[in-house]
């Protein structure tokens, strides 16, 4: 299972400004099998990123690409994604004006159209907690977007922190997405009243059953993201990776 553990680069957005290569080198040395590309420094060279991935033998657990760029620059996105040696493209966020019933319906249509225009690639959607605040067709907007049907080509990239933040049990919520979630975001939630971001194993979420479900259900990458870290983000990732490795030993 260790070959499926990836670090989300949004966690290291400040560190990458000082150099992408040393960040990749440190992640590889720490024991990560891959990275998910996001929040790369402005003006970065995609070919250079691809060369670093090869140099440090890091797999690519998909790329996060904003909806506007997917709509206006799809050909270039597909070229970069292929160069990064992945087939996974994830829409990571929606602007506030799209967080309405009509907005979610439009987003679902748009992402399905993009999926049809991106044969050989997979389009997923990454959630926060705001999708649970709108109801579409008698279900949460997130469940509407990710409806597990043949007609719907949008795959899930569930972020378990945001599900828990919305007051829902993550293990229960992910059940319908068997074989429809190649990527999953793992982050913990603190035990205090603030319920903010935490390193894996230090908060409320039990990750062992989530990993067990993932191994039965088609998860290809377990991606750790910590939006905000109280201390050194690299140290936070190290703590989370250590917990994943401990969970792996317990499961195996």
**How far apart, in whole angstroms, are the C-alpha atoms of residue 20 and residue 245?**
25
pLDDT value, residue 201: 98
Strand partners, 123: 89
Whether this model's pTM surpasses 0.75: yes
> For each of the chain's 252 residues, which pLDDT tens digit applies?
999 999 999 999 999 999 999 999 999 999 999 999 999 998 899 999 999 999 999 999 999 999 999 999 999 999 999 999 999 999 999 999 999 999 999 999 999 999 999 999 999 999 999 999 999 999 999 999 999 999 999 999 999 999 999 999 999 999 999 999 999 999 999 999 999 999 999 999 999 999 999 999 999 999 999 999 999 999 999 999 999 999 998 887
CA distance 123 to 117: 10
Angle at 26 between CA 23 and CA 27, to 5 degrees: 85
- Domains of the chain and any CATH numbers: 2-251 (3.20.20.150)
Tokens of 212: 């067990």
Q: How many CB atoms lie within 10 A of CB 26?
A: 16
Residue identified by tokens 């279900």 is 139
Q: Which pLDDT value is given to residue 251?
A: 83
Angstrom distance (rounded) from CA 32 to CA 26: 9
């Amino acid at each position: 299972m260790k070959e499926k553990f990836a670090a989300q680069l949004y966690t290291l957005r400040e560190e990458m400004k000082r150099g992408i290569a040393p960040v990749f080198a440190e992640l590889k040395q720490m024991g990560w099998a891959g990275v998910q590309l996001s929040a790369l420094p402005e003006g970065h060279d995609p070919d250079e990123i691809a060369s670093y991935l090869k140099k440090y033998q890091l797999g690519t657990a998909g790329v996060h690409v904003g909806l506007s760029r997917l709509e206006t620059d799809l050909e270039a996105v597909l070229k970069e994604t292929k160069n990064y040696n992945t087939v996974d493209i994830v829409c990571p966020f929606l602007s506030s004006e799209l967080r309405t019933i009509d907005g979610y319906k439009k987003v679902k249509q748009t992402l399905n159209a993009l999926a049809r225009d991106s044969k050989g690639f997979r389009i997923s959607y990454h959630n926060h907690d705001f999708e649970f605040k709108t109801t579409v067709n008698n279900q949460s907007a997130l469940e509407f977007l990710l409806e597990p049907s043949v007609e719907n080509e949008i795959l899930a990239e569930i972020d378990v922190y945001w599900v828990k933040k919305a007051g829902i049990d993550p293990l229960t919520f992910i059940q319908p997405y068997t074989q429809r979630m190649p990527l999953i975001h793992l982050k913990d939630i603190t035990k205090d009243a603030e319920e903010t971001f935490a390193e894996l194993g230090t908060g409320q979420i039990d990750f062992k059953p989530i990993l067990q479900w993932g191994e039965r259900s088609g998860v290809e990458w377990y991606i750790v993201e910590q939006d905000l870290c109280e201390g050194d983000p690299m140290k936070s990732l190290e703590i989370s990776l250590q917990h994943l490795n401990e969970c792996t030993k317990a499961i195996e």
